[in-house]
């Protein structure tokens, strides 16, 4: 499989590092194109892959092209790529808010859309993967294998991508927001910053792993640590008095609505 990345940014680097580490592809079959000479040099020295500053030259002969530029540059980048694309090439787009139909634009180009999230940068990502109109089951497998090198993958319908964006795409920000609050409180309570950070991070990771490994629901696990008249109950009562859960639900619905708006241009 000859694989070309258009855009040598953070996300492309995470995926390239992951697939090389997991030996999904060999470095000599990976090509990366970007307008930034510095980024290309970094990919060459760190990952030993081929680099090109010409997008069109980079996609010629590629079996799979990963669009990893910001959505704003898609309208300028796509026409030059499309002309040079092999007729049987698979296009995998990680760009937020660009529907597959906008990429295939009336032609039968096989497009798979991926919504990753930033923990992919440390190999702990969560990606929703959706087939465009002409993509096959094999194309979904290729995308799942690539993204599986940097975390968890799930296959969804393209109509569900806005919900995936709201849940896991933007999701890390909600967890960071929770951590901001926990750490601000820790400071108010006089705890040392380093110790607070260590305890808060271990708590978030540990709670997620407990839920994952026990298979129990979040509310069941929460009730287990909430004894009557205890400290956790005092905290949870305060959260409930402020409608925190309802606010989280509204926040995700707002993210989904914004994702739809962006996709509709």
Ligand X SMILES: NC(=O)c1ccc[n+]([C@@H]2O[C@H](COP(=O)([O-])OP(=O)(O)OC[C@H]3O[C@@H](n4cnc5c(N)ncnc54)[C@H](OP(=O)(O)O)[C@@H]3O)[C@@H](O)[C@H]2O)c1
Chain-centroid distance, C-alpha 43: 20
**In terms of CB distance, is 36 or 250 closer to ligand X?**
36
**In terms of CB distance, is 8 or 196 closer to ligand X?**
8
Least Å distance, CB 224 to ligand X, is 32
**In terms of CB distance, is 109 or 147 closer to ligand X?**
147
Q: Report the first-to-last Cα separation within the chain, whole angstroms.
A: 33
Cβ proximity of 67 and 92 under 8 Å: yes
> Please, what sign has the CA dihedral across residues 198, 203, 208, 212?
positive
Beta bridge partners of 3: 30, 64
Least Å distance, CB 100 to ligand X, is 14
Burial label for 162, CB within 10 Å (0-12, 13-18, 19+), is buried
Least Å distance, CB 117 to ligand X, is 4
Closest listed residue to residue 143, CA positions, set 133, 134, 155, 125: 155
**In terms of CB distance, is 146 or 196 closer to ligand X?**
146
Least Å distance, CB 170 to ligand X, is 7
User: Cβ-closest residue to ligand X?
Assistant: 9
Note the residues at the interface with ligand X (CB under 6 A).
Answer: 6-12, 33-36, 39, 55, 68-71, 73, 76-77, 94-96, 115-118, 169
């Amino acid at each position: 499989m000859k694989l070309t990345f258009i855009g040598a940014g953070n996300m492309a680097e995470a995926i390239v590092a992951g697939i090389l580490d997991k030996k999904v592809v060999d470095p000599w079959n990976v090509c990366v194109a970007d307008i930034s000479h510095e980024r290309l040099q970094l990919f060459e020295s760190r990952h030993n892959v081929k680099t090109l500053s010409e997008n069109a030259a980079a996609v010629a002969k590629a079996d799979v092209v990963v669009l990893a530029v910001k959505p704003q540059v898609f309208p300028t980048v796509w026409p030059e790529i499309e002309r040079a694309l092999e007729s049987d090439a698979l296009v995998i787009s990680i760009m937020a808010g660009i529907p597959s139909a906008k990429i295939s634009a009336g032609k039968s180009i096989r497009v798979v859309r991926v919504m990753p999230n930033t923990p992919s940068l440390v190999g702990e990502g969560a990606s929703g993967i959706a087939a465009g109109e002409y993509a096959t089951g094999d194309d979904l497998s290729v995308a799942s294998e690539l993204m599986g090198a940097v975390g968890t993958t799930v296959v969804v319908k393209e109509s569900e991508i806005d919900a995936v964006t709201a849940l896991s795409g933007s999701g890390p920000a909600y967890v960071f927001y929770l951590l901001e609050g926990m750490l601000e409180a820790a400071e108010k309570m006089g705890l040392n910053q380093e110790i607070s950070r260590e305890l808060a991070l271990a708590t978030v990771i540990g709670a997620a792993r407990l839920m994952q490994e026990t298979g129990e629901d979040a509310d069941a696990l929460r009730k287990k640590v909430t004894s009557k008249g205890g400290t956790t109950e005092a905290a949870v009562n305060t959260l409930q008095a402020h409608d925190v859960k309802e606010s989280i639900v509204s926040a995700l619905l707002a993210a989904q609505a914004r994702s739809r708006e962006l996709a509709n241009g």
